[in-house]
Amino acid sequence: AGRGVSAGRALGTAWDGEGAGPEEAVLVVRTLDPAFAPLLPRLAGLVAQTGSPLSHLTVLAREYGVPAVVGAADAVHRFPPGTRLTVDGTLGDVRPEEPR
């Protein structure tokens, strides 16, 4: 569990920001680096291990309507690239998609 900082819910594929990235990418990072700002328009969601509701990237996520969660403990290890995720930026919840 983390802290929701940009409301909404998204389903997508975890991505670390390297390479072209998947469709419906959920960027999963350690810290919120302003260098990620140009990626926001194409993201389904944003998950960070650290950050605050007032960071530059979370403010932009709200502007773009991208669900975002910060404070997601050990997110880069729990959600490696390719993991299907549900991100709830309202509740601050990030969960791997349940197998069918």
Helix, strand, or coil (residue 91): coil
Helix, strand, or coil (residue 9): strand
Q: Is 77 a catalytic residue?
A: no
H-helix or E-strand spanning residue 57: helix 56-64
Region label for 65, one of left (φ > 0), alpha (ψ between -120 and 50) or beta (otherwise): left
Name which of 72, 70, 94 is nearest 9 in CA terms: 94
Catalytic residue among 52, 56, 65, 90: 56
Q: Strand 93-96 to strand 84-88: parallel, antiparallel, or no bridges (unpaired)?
A: antiparallel
Which residues does the annotation mark as catalytic?
56
